[in-house]
């Protein structure tokens, strides 16, 4: 009988807590994203044409392939498109990577605006050729339009216009652009080393990552500035299973491929990575929930109550949500025998991990290694780096970006965001405490998917805001 009373008491408490959350949600008015792109046909056409020419100059990067000459061709195009930048700023080229220096009245708070020149390969059938740079249906089409030559065009054009206005920056400004970001190369580290050699410690670095996203969660209307303040780490592990091999006509049990397959099935079934709400993720959901429908405001606006439930639900219904809550594990490459009738003496499996702070590099790799023992599988770390330290959302640098967004895009909600992919900004964290991942261009859900995929494109109407954002950041950094 006592157990029954305890159960009734627990249920009563839970019901009371849910009632409190419901009342709190009902009494809190829903907010609305007010900002929409403002047409400016003349500027849109100018910027779209410049971006189009940049897309037509193909700058695909390949791992361990030297394409410096191709990037030098792109640099010559930049000289044509942005002549004032090249007459006023000091340019440094290092193996195809670019660094421009605009001397300010002070060197106390250097500003770095950055995005990469290189793009990924383009395969498949496109509506508009991947390197056509076509301007059609109010969009610029082609590889690099959204990832991320739009930003490169944006900050070059911003400086071009400021110079034309006779503006002199209060603080030193650097424009940084690597040509190896898409292959995880050493381009950006070379630029960072050059700044270290000069003794430069940036006050603010603004790179790609977050953006102005339309409907970031299903059921949410409008646009939201998703400002990247934390970047997950990344690791590549090689799992190896060995045997004596043999002929396929007399197969034995537990061959290398069978053991690796059992490992994968076991991992996918039990998913052992720890699920938690990072403080930055809590802050993101808190900000976004205020603009969502009632059930969003109830669940995400009351994580103090519903977090345990959401830890169970979110990873089951959304890969994107799962990536915000745990270290993700993807099985990407596999090798075995080179002949169809030969059992391999060794089979391998490549595993890509994206580390989250609450279960970082060492802890996540340990989970893989412990499970691998069960199937007599060896684990080798090919490459790995841990999650980056988060940007302090209470810092002056973050508030500067927040203020600029508020001026350039009035009515646009600003939400901190966790980067699940990788950026060059991580290399700058060695010399800068405020590496913010935010590209000031708009993306619809379809445009987000098109990056690294088919029919990549960007709205012409988003380019004016990008230029204005970079101009305003430079002016605000006093």
Question: What is the domain extent for residue 65?
Answer: 41-231+388-476
> If you average pLDDT over residues 286-291, what whole number do you get?
92
* Domain end (from 364, 385, 406): 385
Tell whether 137 is covered by a domain: yes
Among positive and negative, which fits the CA dihedral 35, 450, 330, 351?
negative
Q: How far is CA 171 from CA 103, 105, 158, 366, in A?
A: 7, 6, 15, 46
Dist CA 173 CA 477 (whole Å): 10
The domain that holds 318 is classified in CATH as 3.30.70.360
Confirm if 43 and 464 have CB atoms less than 8 A apart: yes
How confident is residue 242, by pLDDT bands cut at 50, 70 and 90? Answer: very high
- Specify whether 71 is located in the same domain as 170: yes
Helices (H), strands (E): how many in the chain?
16, 17
Cis peptide bond prior to 148, omega within 30° of 0: yes
**pLDDT, tens only, 417-449:** 999 989 999 999 999 999 999 999 999 999 999
pLDDT at 61 over 90: yes
Neighbours of 18 (CB within 10 A): 14
- Specify whether 306 is located in the same domain as 245: yes
Q: If you ran DSSP here, which 8-state letter would residue 30 be given?
A: P
Confirm if 430 and 192 have CB atoms less than 8 A apart: yes
The domain that holds 425 is classified in CATH as 3.40.630.10
Tell whether 56 is covered by a domain: yes
**pLDDT, tens only, 186-228:** 999 999 999 999 999 999 999 999 999 999 888 889 999 999 9
Dist CA 92 CA 116 (whole Å): 15
- Specify whether 216 is located in the same domain as 240: no
Tell whether 18 is covered by a domain: no
H runs (alpha helix) in 82-222? 83-88, 149-164, 187-198
pLDDT at 8: 76
* Domain end (from 361, 385, 409): 385
Q: How far is CA 68 from CA 64, 204, 227, in A?
A: 12, 29, 32
User: What's the total number of domains in the chain?
Assistant: 2
Tell whether 87 is covered by a domain: yes
**pLDDT, tens only, 334-345:** 999 999 999 999
pLDDT at 436: 98
Tell whether 78 is covered by a domain: yes
pLDDT at 7 over 90: no
Residue with tokens 């745990």: 326
Helices 396-408 and 461-476, axial angle in degrees (round to 10): 140
- CA end-to-end distance (rounded Å), the chain: 70
Q: How far is CA 37 from CA 43, 124, 138, 262, 448, in A?
A: 13, 31, 12, 51, 17
Tell whether 337 is covered by a domain: yes
- Specify whether 356 is located in the same domain as 440: no
- Specify whether 377 is located in the same domain as 277: yes
> If you average pLDDT over residues 270-277, what whole number do you get?
96
- Specify whether 50 is located in the same domain as 187: yes
Portion of the chain with pLDDT greater than 70, in percent: 100
How confident is residue 141, by pLDDT bands cut at 50, 70 and 90? Answer: very high
Q: Beta strands 223-231 and 414-419: pairing type?
A: parallel
* Structure tokens, 118: 């290189």
Q: How far is CA 359 from CA 84, 168, 233, 278, 455, in A?
A: 48, 46, 11, 11, 36
- Specify whether 319 is located in the same domain as 380: yes
- Higher-pLDDT residue of 252 and 53 is 53
- Specify whether 189 is located in the same domain as 267: no
- Specify whether 189 is located in the same domain as 48: yes
pLDDT at 2 over 80: no
Tell whether 34 is covered by a domain: no
- Specify whether 325 is located in the same domain as 201: no
**pLDDT, tens only, 397-417:** 999 999 999 999 999 999 999
- Specify whether 188 is located in the same domain as 60: yes
- Specify whether 59 is located in the same domain as 195: yes
* Domain end (from 323, 355, 385): 385
Tell whether 392 is covered by a domain: yes
Please name every residue paired with 329 in a beta bridge, in sequence order, or none if there are none: 353
The set of residues, in sequence order, having a beta carbon less than 8 Å from that of 403 and lying 6+ positions away, is 476
> If you average pLDDT over residues 152-178, what whole number do you get?
98
């Amino acid at each position: 009988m006592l157990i029954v009373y305890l159960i009734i008491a627990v249920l009563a408490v839970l019901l009371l807590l849910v009632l409190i959350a419901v009342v709190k949600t009902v009494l809190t008015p829903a907010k609305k994203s007010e900002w929409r792109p403002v047409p400016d046909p003349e500027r849109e056409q100018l910027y779209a044409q410049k971006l189009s020419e940049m897309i037509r100059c193909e700058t695909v990067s390949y791992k361990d392939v030297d394409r410096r000459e191709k990037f030098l061709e792109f640099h010559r195009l930049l000289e044509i498109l942005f002549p004032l930048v090249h007459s006023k700023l000091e340019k440094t080229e290092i193996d195809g990577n670019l660094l421009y220096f605009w001397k300010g009245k002070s060197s106390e708070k250097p500003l770095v605006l950055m995005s990469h020149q290189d793009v990924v390969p383009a395969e498949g059938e496109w509506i508009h050729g991947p390197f056509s740079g076509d301007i059609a249906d109010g969009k610029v089409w082609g590889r690099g339009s959204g990832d991320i030559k739009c930003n490169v065009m944006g900050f070059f054009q911003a400086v071009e216009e400021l110079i034309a206005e006779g503006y002199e920056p209060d603080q030193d400004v650097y424009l940084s652009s690597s040509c190896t970001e898409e292959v995880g190369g050493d381009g950006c580290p070379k630029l960072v080393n050059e700044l270290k050699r000069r003794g430069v410690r940036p006050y603010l670095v603004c790179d790609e990552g977050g953006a102005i996203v339309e409907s970031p969660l299903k059921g949410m209307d409008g646009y939201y500035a998703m400002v990247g303040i934390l970047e997950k780490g990344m690791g590549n592990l090689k799992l190896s299973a060995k045997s004596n091999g043999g002929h396929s006509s007399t197969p034995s049990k537990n061959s290398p491929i069978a053991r690796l397959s059992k490992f994968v099935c076991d991992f996918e079934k039990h998913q052992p990575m720890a699920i938690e709400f990072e403080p930055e993720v809590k802050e993101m959901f808190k900000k976004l929930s205020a603009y969502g429908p009632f059930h969003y405001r109830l669940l995400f606006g009351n994580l103090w109550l519903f977090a345990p439930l959401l830890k169970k639900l979110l990873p089951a219904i959304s890969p994107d949500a799962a990536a915000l809550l745990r270290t993700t594990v993807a099985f990407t490459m596999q090798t075995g025998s080179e002949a169809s009738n030969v059992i391999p003496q060794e089979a391998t499996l490549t595993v890509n991990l994206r580390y989250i702070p609450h279960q970082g590099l060492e802890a996540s790799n340990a989970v893989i290694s412990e499970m691998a023992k069960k199937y007599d599988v060896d684990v080798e770390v090919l490459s790995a780096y841990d999650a980056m330290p988060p940007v302090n959302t209470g810092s002056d640098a973050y508030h500067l970006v927040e203020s600029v967004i508020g001026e350039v895009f009035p009515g646009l909600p600003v939400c901190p965001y966790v980067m699940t992919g990788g950026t060059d900004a991580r290399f700058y964290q060695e010399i800068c405490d405020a590496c913010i991942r935010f590209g000031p261009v708009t993306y619809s859900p379809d445009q987000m998917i098109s990056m690294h995929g088919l029919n990549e494109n960007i709205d012409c109407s988003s380019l004016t805001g990008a230029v204005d954002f970079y101009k305003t950041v430079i002016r605000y950094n006093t």
